[in-house]
Amino acid sequence: MSHDLQITASAPDPALLDLPWDVPLEDWPADRIAALPRGISRHTVRFVRMSGRVIALKEIGETVAYREYALLRQLKRLDVPSVDPVGVVTGRLDPDGEPLEAVLVTEHLQYSLPYRALFSQALRPDTLTRLIDALAVLLVRLHVVGFYWGDVSLSNTLFRRDAEAFAAYLVDAETGDLHRRLTDGQRNYDVDLARTNIIGELMDLAAGELLDEDVDELAIGDLLVERYQELWASLTTEESFDAAERWRVAARVDRLNDLGFDVDELAMTTDIDGTTVRIQPKVVDAGHHSRRLMRLTGLDVQENQARRLLNDLDAYRAATERQNDDESFVAHDWLTEVFEPSVRAVPRELRGKLEAAQLFHEMLDHRWFLSEQQQRDVPMPEVVRSYVDNVLRHRRDEQALLGEDS
């Protein structure tokens, strides 16, 4: 190994020094390589086991390697789903003293697959739509923070299964650029390029008989544009409304859910004239909401119930103008002032019909229905009375039905 070798890394692992840097990546011995599905890349890419983890190595020019490393570090700080940068290796020489290309080192994203690996398995018919949804979310998230990708494609993305959906991660930032804010022209160019690349990639899959022959490649390319535009508009259109109209927040979330996107964060700012809502979707790991709710309140509930309860907690936080208070204190007050009184207000003989979290979830549904009907924010005590009399009394007793002990 040459004494000219340089490793630039934020937390260098000494094991990096033991790798055969004096050999071109394509000639690395098989015992060094981790057999993982690889995507298509214009560069040589290898996966290597090191210190109990897997790293990805990509041979590229030195300037490009440093630039991509810096961009990936910025994206991690901005909390955008992308691969973790490990470092850059430069000054490589082969045994004859000839220079070799620099190598960008990234962490391999566990449980992730390139799109070609997904299509080599038997997939449900709607899988392609779900991949496009995930890519649209990723593209919007990148554009929101001012990142221009410059080469959006299925090949430059890794996909991770997330319950019934997929989460998309940026894996190649080589052509990217970070700005304070993107122009509409930059965003539209990225989206248009994504459409062109995706149609080409799907046609390539069809030629290799890896794609269901019923799939219309052009329609899928158009779907990405459509999903992106719907989501961008839903996210970036600011709504101002009176603090008494909290039901409008739920309406905004429901609209995003109807588009097929999960909402993990409600960023609300309160001013003298009312409340402005900005909503940012996050592609979250399965179980994220139930873990967050358990940490904040001790309530142990299902994922979708947790998401609904957290949305109500976030709305309560904005309505009480406590965005700057510690989240756990606000959660405690929400639990004692909103959740528990609502559940306790249900007559004892009717409480066995549903578990507490499902009861509250249905009350929120009922509040939304009443608020829409009456065009006002109906107070919870009023909601509970109406829900008990008009809905709950007519429900079958699910606890007894499931044969659980009371």
The answer to whether the beta carbons of residues 253 and 318 sit under 8 Å apart is no
Neighbours of 311 (CB within 10 A): 20
Listed in sequence order, the residues at least 6 apart from 265 whose beta carbon sits closer than 8 Å to its beta carbon are 279, 280, 281, 282, 314
Q: What are the C-alpha distances in Å from 273 to residues 134, 270, 307, 316?
A: 36, 8, 29, 18
Q: What are the C-alpha distances in Å from 268 to residues 103, 272, 288, 367?
A: 43, 13, 21, 21
> What are residue 177's phi and psi, to 5 degrees?
-155, 135
- Mean pLDDT across 183-195: 96
> Poorest-confidence range of 191-200, 276-285, 313-322, 340-349?
276-285
Sheet of 85-90: strands edge to edge?
6-9, 85-90, 102-107, 53-60, 45-50
Going along the chain from its start, the domains and CATH numbers come out as: 6-109 (3.30.200), 113-236 (1.10.510.10), 239-401 (no CATH)
- pLDDT tops 80 at residue 250: no
* 283 confidence band (pLDDT: 50, 70, 90): very low
- pLDDT tops 90 at residue 313: yes
**How far, in Å, CA of 406 to CA of 404, rounded?**
6
Q: Which two tokens mark 168?
A: 């998309």
| 104-130 pLDDT per residue, tens | 999 988 767 788 777 765 555 577 888
Q: Which residue has the tokens 């995706």?
A: 198
